[in-house]
Structure 1
Amino acid sequence: MTDLRPDLAIIAEHVAPGTRILDVGCGDGALMAALRDTKRVDARGLELDAGNVAAAVSRGLSVIQGDADVDLAEYPQASFDYAILSQTLQTAKRPDVVLDHLLRVGRQAFVSFPNFAHWRVRMSLLLGGRMPVTRLLPERWYDTPNIHHVTIDDFRSFVGERGIAVEGAWFLSGDKRTGTAAANIFAEHAVFLLRKPN
C-alpha cells in the first residue's frame, strides 16, 4: 500500500481486516482497491465525479455516483464498520451534517483534510497577501473545490463540542508523519479516527 497517498496509507494501516467500509468521495477507488486486495475488506464507494466513478468501477469496485451533502442521508444507521471521508470535508457544503451522517452510518469514521493553518499557508497570506498555491493545495482561490478552510484546531474544537471521541489522530508534513506537538502550525494534513458519542 506504499503507492497510496500518505493520508490514505494511514487509513489503510488502521482499518481492520474483513470489515465493511464506505469510502465517501472515494475518487478513483485507490484506497478501496488496496483494502480489498490486502485486507479482504467489503468496500463500497460514493463519488461525485463521473470519471472517477468509471475508473473505480473499472477496477471491479462497487461505487455509485452521488453527493455526500445529499446522499449520505439515505444510508442506514451503523451499516458499515468504517465510514471514510478523505480530503472531502472541506469541499462539502455542510461539513457538520456530512460528519453527522458519517458517524451515523459507520461505527467509526476516518476523516482526513488539509490544514489551512499550516505555516506555509500563514506565510503566504502574511507576506504575499494572497491565498496560497502549494503542492498540496494546487488550485487558485477561484478554481479550488475547497469551500471551508478548516484547521486542525478548528476540527479538534468541533469534535470536542459535540462530544465525539477521537480514537486516533495522525499528522503529515509533506509525505512524512509529524508529531502532535504544534500540529496546527507544522502539519499540512490531518487524519482523525472518530467514534460517535454513546
Structure 2
Amino acid sequence: MSDLRPDLAVIARNVDPGTRVLDIGCGDGSLMAALRDTRGVDARGLELDPANVSAAVARGLSVVQGNADTDLADYPDQSFDYAILSQTLQTTRRPDLVLDDLLRIGRRAFVSFPNFAHWRVRLSLLWGGRMPVTRLLPERWYDTPNIHHVTIDDFRAMVAERGIEIEKARYLRGDRRTGPAAANFFAEHAVFLLSRD
C-alpha cells in the first residue's frame, strides 16, 4: 500500500477486511485494487472519466462510468459497508447532498479532500494575490475541477450541522500525519471516517 497516494493509504489501512466498498470517483482503481488484494474487500467503483474506467476494468475491477452528482440515487440504502469519496468532494455541485448519499449507501463513509486553508494556500493569496497552485492543487483557477474550496473547519461545521459523527480524522502534511491542533492551518489534506445513526 506504500505506492498509494497518502490519503488513500490511510483509507486502505482503516477499511475492515472482507467488507463491501463503493469507491466513488475511484480514478484508475488504485485503492480498489489494494483493498481487493490486501484486505479481501469486495470493491465496486463509480468513475466519471472514461479512460480511468477503462484502466480500472483492465485491472479486473468492477467499475462503471457515472457521476457522483447524479448517479448515487441509483444505489440502494445500506448496500455497502463503506462508501469512499477521495479527493472528489470539492468537485461536486452539491457536496452536502453527495455526503448524505454516501451515508445512505454505506454504513460508514470515508471522505478526503485538499485543505484550502493550508498556510501555503493562504500565503499565496496574501502575497501573490492569485489563486494558489501547489503540489496538491496543481491546476490553475480556470482549469481546476475544484468548484468548492473546502477547509477542514468548514467540513467539520457542515457535518456537525447535518448530525454526522466523525469517528476518525487524519490530517496529512505531505506524506506524513500531523496532529489535530491547528490542522486547519498546517494540514494539506484531511481524511475523515463518518457515520450517522
TM-score, normalized by the shorter chain, greater than 0.5 = yes
Q: Describe the SS at the equivalent of 2:4.
A: coil
Root mean square deviation, CA, Å: 0.4
Distance (whole Å) between structure 2 residues aligned to residue 67 and residue 169 of structure 1? 26
TM-score (normalizing by structure 1): 0.99
1:163 to partner: Cα distance: 1.1
Distance (whole Å) between structure 2 residues aligned to residue 175 and residue 137 of structure 1? 15
* Residue 193 of structure 1: aligned partner: 193
1:35 to partner: Cα distance: 0.3
Task: Identify unmatched segments of 5+ residues in structure 1.
Answer: none
* Residue 38 of structure 1: aligned partner: 38
* Residue 61 of structure 2: aligned partner: 61
The residue type paired with residue 145 of structure 2 is P
Distance (whole Å) between structure 2 residues aligned to residue 119 and residue 138 of structure 1? 16
Map residues 16-55 of structure 1 onto 2, 5 A cutoff.
16-55=16-55
1:15 to partner: Cα distance: 0.2
Superposed structure 1 runs of 4+ greater than 4 Å apart? none
Which digits, 9 at most, give the CA deviation of each residue in 1:143-172, with x for residues without a partner?
000000000000000011111010000000
Distance (whole Å) between structure 1 residues aligned to residue 135 and residue 161 of structure 2? 32
* Residue 108 of structure 2: aligned partner: 108
Which digits, 9 at most, give the CA deviation of each residue in 1:6-30, with x for residues without a partner?
0000000000000000000000000
Distance (whole Å) between structure 1 residues aligned to residue 135 and residue 95 of structure 2? 24
TM-score (normalizing by structure 2): 0.99
Question: Is 1:174 aligned to residue 174 of structure 2?
Answer: yes
Distance (whole Å) between structure 1 residues aligned to residue 39 and residue 160 of structure 2? 32
Which digits, 9 at most, give the CA deviation of each residue in 1:32-89, with x for residues without a partner?
0000000110000000000000000000000000000000011000000000000000
* Residue 84 of structure 1: aligned partner: 84
How many residues matched?
A: 197
The residue type paired with residue 150 of structure 2 is V
The residue type paired with residue 153 of structure 2 is D
Distance (whole Å) between structure 2 residues aligned to residue 195 and residue 27 of structure 1? 24
* Residue 97 of structure 2: aligned partner: 97
* Residue 121 of structure 2: aligned partner: 121
Distance (whole Å) between structure 2 residues aligned to residue 26 and residue 162 of structure 1? 25
* Residue 131 of structure 2: aligned partner: 131
Give % identity: 78
Distance (whole Å) between structure 1 residues aligned to residue 56 and residue 105 of structure 2? 22
1:175 to partner: Cα distance: 1.1
Q: Describe the SS at the equivalent of 2:194.
A: strand
Distance (whole Å) between structure 1 residues aligned to residue 40 and residue 107 of structure 2? 18
